[in-house]
Amino acid sequence: MPSQILPISNPPSSSASAATMALKAEIDADPSATLLISSQFDTEKAISITPLLPRASSYNNTTNIITNYQQQRRRRSASDTSLALLADESPRQSLTQEVGHAAAETYLITRLSLKLLRYLGVGYRWITRFIALGCYSLLLMPGFIQVGYYYFFSRQVRRGIIYGDQPRNRLDLYLPKNSNGPKPVVAFVTGGAWIIGYKAWGSLLGQQLSERDVIVACIDYRNFPQGTISDMVKDASEGISFICKNIAEYGGDPNRIYLMGQSAGAHIAACTLVEQAIKECGEGESVSWSVSQIKAYFGLSGGYNLFNLIDHFHSRGLYRSIFLGIMEGEASLRQFSPEVLLQDLNAKYAVSLLPPIILFHGTGDYSIPSDSSKSFADTLRRLGGKAESISYEGKTHTDLFLQDPMRGGRDEMFEDLVAIIHADDEDALAKDAVAPPRRRLVPEFMLKLAHDVSPF
């Protein structure tokens, strides 16, 4: 039955009380009634008001309504978090908003690149490196354009979700189209030499994993000089905490959360995981998430012993003075070297708390040698941890993360990753077995040239 419409005109003041009582009686009889209020001063305008309270509620609890509203508003973030459950029903942002956001993202990326150039200097070595980087980017541009379009315009991407108080405390979510049942989740920390890390770097991985029914959360964090390594680890920890607490609202399974990092992001994520395990070993330590909530850690092309890498980075152009500035001085190298830190007598018990650790690395990686992953895995196993190092013959620092995924077809590292995530899900494994080959994004000859000119 449609709601009754009750006309109200401005009554004489002497009859105000009687009119109010009559109106209240009619509302009590039909709580869904709509009030049509008219005024003698403006007979052409009408306001449709639906009663906020049901018949059984008191008309005097306005304070409670305001309090509840304020509590709900505090729970909402300034991002699109509150729209997650309505993803399929929410309207697309206007083209102007999307273009504006793309322009802002492009500006940030350009600023990060200029910042990197300023810190590395303009010597002959870096001039040639940046020329090589320009050629490399042009060769992969067809893939970058397609991934960028997906990042900015796909309804499956939730960009800029706020997880903390700092300016870079944002994350992007990549959601599968299939919303049946809770999905496994990968919390991903992107690389970028600790200077140009950015959450959008994970968009290709996010797109491809979401096609396999895996939710991906790419965590942004402060870069140097906006922050040093302890700030980066703190940001990553807060991002992981947010995911553990809130991912169920987006269709994620809180019992199947995997932590993953690439390059510098692999180092930051490993530091975060080890620091959390050590905290949980201590007495009275306050923690906002637990290592037990992470089902496995995936490290892609990462470095875990800074003592062994500082000279290598210096020879590659990440000069010692800059690197020590990022890592808060030479005295802090031990604290931020997971492989070294876990060998300390006071930290050995933390190894037993760590989840299984799987380290992927290409043998042709010149930016961070593959021995870094092998050594870390060996150390963990020697200390009683569960660890495995998987090597890919001839693959460079970017082959596993960019060129191979853009090649389409079967990607060995990607298939290994998905097989581990879906290991306990027979239905998902069956779907993976018949999944169509991935689409090629860049012609093969351009990928081969990119491999040859890559400065990484």
Catalytic machinery residues: 263, 365, 397
Domain that holds residue 211: 140-453
Across 430-453, average pLDDT: 92
pLDDT value for 307:
96
- As a whole number of angstroms, the distance between CA 264 and CA 327 comes to 12
- Is 26 contained in some domain? no
Cβ proximity of 282 and 319 under 8 Å: no
- Is 230 contained in some domain? yes
Sequence-ordered list of residues with C-beta below 8 angstroms from that of 174, at least 6 positions apart, any chain: 156, 157, 203, 206, 207, 209, 210, 215, 216, 217, 218
- Is 29 contained in some domain? no
- As a whole number of angstroms, the distance between CA 193 and CA 313 comes to 10
- As a whole number of angstroms, the distance between CA 292 and CA 219 comes to 20
- As a whole number of angstroms, the distance between CA 87 and CA 155 comes to 8
Burial 222-233 (b: 16+ CB within 10 A, else e): bbbeebbbebbb
- Is 90 contained in some domain? no
Tens of pLDDT, residues 300-313? 999 999 999 999 99
- Confidence band, pLDDT 50/70/90 cuts, at residue 398: very high
The better pLDDT of the pair 400, 69 is held by 400
Full DSSP string of 295-354:
EEEEEES----HHHHHHHHHHHT--HHHHHHHTTSGGGTTTT-HHHHTTSTTTHHHHTTS
pLDDT value for 277:
94
Residue in the structure block whose two tokens are 């906006």: 226
- Is 340 contained in some domain? yes
User: Which CATH number goes with the domain that contains 203?
Assistant: 3.40.50.1820
pLDDT value for 359:
98
- Confidence band, pLDDT 50/70/90 cuts, at residue 208: very high
- Is 396 contained in some domain? yes
Cβ proximity of 379 and 388 under 8 Å: no
Provide the domain count of the chain.
Answer: 1
Across 55-61, average pLDDT: 37
- Is 117 contained in some domain? no
Residue in the structure block whose two tokens are 């409670």: 64
The better pLDDT of the pair 95, 358 is held by 358
Of the chain, the percentage scoring pLDDT greater than 90 comes to 60
pLDDT value for 153:
93
Element (H, E) at 239: helix 229-246
- Is 59 contained in some domain? no
Closest CA to 362 of 389, 390, 387, 396: 396
